[in-house]
Structures are given as C-alpha cells and as structure tokens.
Amino acid sequence: MRTSTAIASLLAASSPLVSGHGDHHHHGQRDFTPAELKELQGKWGTDFGFGGISTFAHLPHHKCLTNPQTPFDIGIIGAPFDTAVSYRPGARFGPRAIRAASARQTALRGYNPRASLNPYTSWANVVDCGDIPITPFDNGLALRQMSEGYTELSTRVAIPANVASEATYLQTAKIVTLGGDHSIALPALRALNKKYGKPVAVVHFDAHLDTWHPSKYPSYWLDLEDPSTQSFFTHGNMFWMAATEGLIANGSSIHAGLRTRLSDEDDYTNDSEQGFVRISADDIDDIGTKGVISKILATVPQDYPVYLSIDIDVIDPGLAPGTGTPE
C-alpha cells in the first residue's frame, strides 16, 4: 500500500472520532469537578523518562516570550545559535540535545540527598520557556534577537509568595539558557545591564578565556577601528566586547578550569585588564575543589548580581568529545 493511500485510509477510519471531538456546535464541553480533574491527573499526568514531550526534565512548557502572564521563578530558555564559532559548528542543536539528555530527570525522583532538596519542587516554579527564535543567516540580526529576547525575559518577576527577600535581584525571575555557542553570553549580559543599571559579576567555567582582542583573529577584512563591526562578535571575544561596553564588573569576575593555549603572554595581560581572576585546570591539584570554591567566593561580592556561564569544553574532552573546541 502506498504511503499516501495508507494515510488517507487512516484519516477516513478516524474521521468520526476527529469530527466528534471538534464539533462544538452540538457537543459542548462539560465542567469537571476538582475531584474529577484530580483523578485525570492521577491517571494520565505522569510520564516515564522515555515518554512525553521533550521538555527539560519533563517540566511544563510555556512559550514565555509570547505569554508574558505566565508565572515562573526559573525559566529554561534555549538559544539555538552557532554561527559565531571559530571551529566546529553544531551547537545550534544543543538545546534540543540537552532536553533529550535530561529525560531521566523528573520531579518524581529529583530529590538530591547531598543537597537535601528536590530542585524541581523545593520552592521555585520552574518551567521550560522554549527557544528564542534566532536566524542562522545574519549574526547582526541574531545578536539583536537574542538581546531583545533576554531583555524581555528580564522584565519578568518571580512569584512573590516564593521569594522571601526585599533584594530586587532576588525578586527577578531567573533564566537558565541552553546553548548554543558561547557567544550567547554577550546578549545576556546586555540584558542584565539594562535590568540592573550596572555591571554584573561573571563566574565563567571554560577551558578558554573568551576575552581575546579581535586582532587575535587576523583578517585583512577586519576593521579594528569600528567596534560595531559584526566580525567582532565571536564565541572567543564576547567577553572582550562585554568589558568594552562596561557590562562586566572589573575585579569581581573569574574564570575557572582554564587549560587553553595562548597567542602569547599578552592574552593574560589583556584578560587581567578586563578584570578577570584566573583559575587554571591545574590549580585543582594544588588547592582542591574547596580551594577553587573559596577563591570564587572571595572574588565575587555578596549580594551582587552574578552571571554564571558554563562552556561544555571545560569538561575533560574524553567525557564531552562533541564540543566544538576541545582542549
């Protein structure tokens, strides 16, 4: 049987069910009692890890950018963008892959005995906000789309009953981004700067600095006198751009996990001028995990807005070989 014939036969066989369900003129929806709704939820409201729609950790899905009334404390947003990379592309499929990989994470069995909480049910209303629609054809437009998307989400406030603090930055709904190449940090920092009106501290886990001056990517075509040029926007210098724009708190930001090669020692000088403290991957052998944590806490001010950025290449490439820039 041809595919088209099979589909037509299936539709014909199911047409009474389809039309019966959709015929609201003759069969109006009845009201359900709370007990009936509870029973339906009990029967059909739970998905196994291998079932259900692919949201992050089976969280409820809301298109947060088009539904500003949706209440949430923490929103998961995808940024499927990878046209600012210098080596392997493919990170545009990251949000979808991360959601698929999170399938075994559920609120049903999400309790962490070491932290003594279930992050999906402890206090916050956590939702999957879908993705920011981002063009793959024009990096200038993509940067604008991401910046405006983050700015829109930064206006959302946390559910008041869930936040016992008068600090403005704690009353703001928190956004967790699934990338995407690492250049997505720049539009996020621009949005945070608009939100708080001041630079924010950056805690950056990465094998690379990502503070390189554009001249470190030599090109005859690059106009170094024009900082607005689209060619400046890459996954290796977005923090340089952010520092140039005054988005990063100088002296209160830190890299951790560095094991990158350099152009020369000037790369470190340039990085220090942008206000970053550095922790190399080798340092963990000397100071241990607690030492790394202590150095981060000593660098980042308390009660200060912080942007946490994690690049997959900070992980040993034997554990994450698909990264675009393995070291």
pTM for the full predicted model: 0.85
**Binding-site entries:** 182, 206, 208, 210, 311, 313
Tokens of 260: 């990158």
> Does the structure show a pLDDT above 90 at 142?
yes
Give the separation between CA 261 and CA 313, rounded to whole angstroms.
13
pLDDT of 2 strictly over 70: no
The mean predicted confidence, pLDDT, of the chain is 87
Q: What is the CATH number of domain 198-327?
A: 3.40.800.10
Amino acid letter for position 277: V
pLDDT at 7: 47
Q: Residue 167's pLDDT band (boundaries 50, 70, 90)?
A: low
Please choose, from the candidates 54, 180, 152, 73, the residue with its C-alpha nearest in 3D space to the C-alpha of residue 120. Answer: 73
Residue ranges of the binding site for Mn(2+): 182, 206, 208, 210, 311, 313
Which segment of 113-122, 132-141, 146-155, 175-184 scores lowest on mean pLDDT? 113-122
The residue that leads in pLDDT, 50 or 176, is 176
> What Å distances lie between residue 39 and 48, 106, 299, CA to CA?
18, 21, 52
Where are the domains positioned within the chain? 52-183, 198-327
Does residue 18 register a pLDDT over 50? no
Report yes or no: 126 and 76 within 8 Å, Cβ to Cβ.
yes
Fold of 52-183: Arginase; Chain A (3.40.800)
Please determine whether the domains at 52-183 and 198-327 fall in the same fold group of CATH. yes
> For residues 112 and 4, which has the higher predicted lDDT (pLDDT)?
112
- Written in H, E and C, the secondary structure of 247-285 is CECCCCEEEEEECCCCCCCHHHHHHHHCCEEEEECCHHH
Count Cα neighbours of 233 within 13 Å in the Cβ-side half-sphere.
Answer: 22
**55-73 average pLDDT score:** 94
Residue 87, pLDDT > 80, answer yes
Check residues 12 and 275 and name the one with the higher pLDDT: 275
pLDDT at 5 > cutoff 60: no
Which one, of 193, 285, 310, 297, lies nearest residue 245 by Cα? 193
Give SS3 for 148: helix
